């Protein structure tokens, strides 16, 4: 395993059906040839990801979407507004996409990432890339090459280092049912932004996976985590060593703490969320408490990740 900025080396591994970690603006992805069932099987195995959880297919431009999925006017509108960027659109797939990639579903999630290294790599390859987050299934998503190395370093031959992820949360996933837009996963583009483009949307965020990131338990540290109002949580939870993830300021004493956004900006909090969860997981604490973000804009996606990461008795 090695870390570097060599796009040609990453492309060589991918052409051999190997998996490579790549940067995107959302989180680091574990990438494989999306047209190869063999490569997809390796990806599922490395992540220990259940095969009923579909993968997102990354492409280099809007013009490529028609190769892999059926056209949809609403989807095209969103692509033109938000691509490249943290938006995945779910559309009826074409047969060129293996069933393993979509977990047997008749639809595929397509995304055009904004990170320049990811785009350049995609443009250099004759196939799209399936690329879920580059971490063991269910754990906190990686936002740096070092996070990937700590978790999957022995399992992947190359990690393409593109620095710290600018968004820090996975993409928003949008599908289309009964001529209306449906959000399957909250992410880097807010509900409000989607509605400005398409009109009112429906939220369908959990249940049987129709898209990645819909499982109730996900993005979780190994230690117990509880999210919500800190005062209420502190009154209910008795533990000697408590670590707290504060949103914008430290408001109570604790053994260890992290502030997501000293400036009080949601975008900064989103960028730092997964790194904060990792930091707390490495601290000498028994329990992690996390303060929820204001439930507007990307704050909804932050709270969604905290809810899915929370410990369930």
pLDDT along the chain (313 residues), means of 10: 94 98 98 97 93 94 97 96 98 97 95 98 98 92 96 93 97 94 96 94 77 66 92 86 95 92 96 95 93 96 92 54
The widest CA-to-CA distance across the chain, in whole angstroms, is 57
pLDDT of residue 52: 87
Asked if CATH classification 3.40.50.11030 holds for the domain at 224-309, the reply, yes or no, is yes
The rounded distance, in Å, linking the Cα atoms of 55 and 34 is 9
Task: Determine how β-strand 158-160 pairs with β-strand 107-111.
Answer: unpaired
Burial of 104 by CB count in 10 Å (0-12 exposed, 13-18 middle, 19+ buried)?
A: exposed
Strand order in the sheet with 242-246: 224-228, 287-291, 242-246, 256-259
Helix (H/G/I), strand (E/B), else coil: 256: strand
Q: Tell me what pLDDT residue 253 has.
A: 87
Q: What does DSSP assign to residue 86?
A: S
Question: Is 290:274 a contact under the CB 8 Å cutoff?
Answer: no
Q: Where in the chain is the domain with CATH 3.40.50.11030?
A: 224-309
pLDDT, residue 179, reads: 86
CB neighbour burial string for 63-76, b if at least 16 within 10 angstroms, e if fewer: ebbeebbeebebbe
What is the rounded distance in angstroms from the CA atom of residue 255 to the CA atom of residue 283? 9
Specify whether domain 2-203 bears CATH 3.90.870.10. Answer: yes
Query: pLDDT at position 205, please?
Result: 84
Predicted TM-score of the model (pTM): 0.92
pLDDT at 38: 96
Which segments of the chain belong to CATH 3.90.870.10?
2-203
How high is the pLDDT of residue 217?
A: 64
Alpha carbons within 13 angstroms on the beta-carbon side of residue 115 total 26
Other Cβ atoms within 10 Å of 282 Cβ, number: 14
Q: Alpha-carbon torsion 214, 219, 222, 223, what sign?
A: negative
Say how far apart CA 281 and CA 287 lie, in whole Å: 9
């Amino acid at each position: 395993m090695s870390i570097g900025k060599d796009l040609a080396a990453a492309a060589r591994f991918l052409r051999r059906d190997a998996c490579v970690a790549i940067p995107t603006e959302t989180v680091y992805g574990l990438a494989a040839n999306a047209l190869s069932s063999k490569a997809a099987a390796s990806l599922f195995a490395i992540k220990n990801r259940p095969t009923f959880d579909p993968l997102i297919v990354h492409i280099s431009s809007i013009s490529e979407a028609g190769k892999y999925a059926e056209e949809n006017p609403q989807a095209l509108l969103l692509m033109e507004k938000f691509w490249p960027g943290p938006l995945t659109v779910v559309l009826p797939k074409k047969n060129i996409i293996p069933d393993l990639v979509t977990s047997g579903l008749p639809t595929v999630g397509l995304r055009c990432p904004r990170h320049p290294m990811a785009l350049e790599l995609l443009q250099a390859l004759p196939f799209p890339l399936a690329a879920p987050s580059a971490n063991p299934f269910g754990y906190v998503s990686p936002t740096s090459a070092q996070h990937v190395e700590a978790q999957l370093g022995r399992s992947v031959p190359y990690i393409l280092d593109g620095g710290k992820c600018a968004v820090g949360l996975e993409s928003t996933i949008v599908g289309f049912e009964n001529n209306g837009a449906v959000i399957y996963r909250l992410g880097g583009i807010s509900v409000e932004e989607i509605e400005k483009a398409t009109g009112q949307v429906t939220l369908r965020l959990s249940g049987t996976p129709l898209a990645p990131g819909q499982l109730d338990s996900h993005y979780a540290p190994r230690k117990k985590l509880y999210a919500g109002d800190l005062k209420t949580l502190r009154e209910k939870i008795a533990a000697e060593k408590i670590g707290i993830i504060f949103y914008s300021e430290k408001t109570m004493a604790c053994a260890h703490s992290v502030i997501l956004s000293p400036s009080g900006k949601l975008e900064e909090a989103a960028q730092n969320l997964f790194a904060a969860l990792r930091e707390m997981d490495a601290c000498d604490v028994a329990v992690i408490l996390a303060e929820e973000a204001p439930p507007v804009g990307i704050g909804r996606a932050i709270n969604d990740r905290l809810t899915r990461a929370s410990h369930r008795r």
